[in-house]
Amino acid sequence: MDIFEAIYNRRSVRQFTPEPVTLEDLIEIIKAGTWAPSGLNNQPWRFVIVQDKNMIAELAKFTKYKKIIDGAAACIVVFVDREAMYNDVKDHQSIGACIQNMLLAVHGLGFGAVWLGEILNNRDGVREKLNLPISMELMAVLAVGRPASGNRKSLRKDVSEVILKKI
């Protein structure tokens, strides 16, 4: 897939078919995430793959976007390892790059996903449910699946609105 095709045509997918996503595909998606740049090549990201339906339902309880998670074939739960961090801003930026790589990989494989951030309001609950130490700080949950049919539109500011200066 052409890089610009991937960037411009990726959309957040919030409704999925019941078709499963294989563990192999989920690992490929995470691998693409780990090829994101990170400050000092620190790679502070950590992941939990959730395919178990009961655990997906448990995760869903931690967000007002419950329906999205409930309908997903799988979730990739993204953490930053606070014990592996060297710089707060830069390590968090690296996680963002990692997540975007994963979203593009999802799109490239013909799946769909949405980056869920609202669930961070319950970050400790999610971490405890997954039985992880306090050093694992929740960054996002990606709900993943085969996109249900439907038009997905998204808008952006014109690029001229966000370029501050041309010098």
Ligand X SMILES: Cc1cc2nc3c(=O)[nH]c(=O)nc-3n(C[C@H](O)[C@H](O)[C@H](O)COP(=O)(O)O)c2cc1C
Residues that bind ligand X (CB under 6 A): 11-12, 14, 65, 114-118, 154
Choose between 1 and 40: whose C-beta lies nearer to ligand X. 1
What is the nearest approach in angstroms of ligand X to the Cβ of residue 138? 12
Buried (b) or exposed (e) across 129-165, using 16+ Cβ within 10 A? ebebeeebbbbbbbbbbbbeeeeeeeeeeeeeeeeee
Measured from the CB atom, the residue of 39 and 71 that comes closer to ligand X is 71
Name the residue nearer to ligand X (CB basis): 29 or 116: 116
Q: Which is nearer to ligand X, 48 or 72 (CB)?
A: 72
Amino acid at 30: I
Could you tell me the smallest distance in angstroms from the CB atom of residue 65 to ligand X? 5
Q: How far is the CB of 86 from ligand X (least distance, A)?
A: 22
Least gap, CB of 3 to ligand X (angstroms): 16
CA distance 149 to 18: 12
Spell 29-38 as b/e; 16+ CB within 10 A means b. Answer: bbebbeebeb
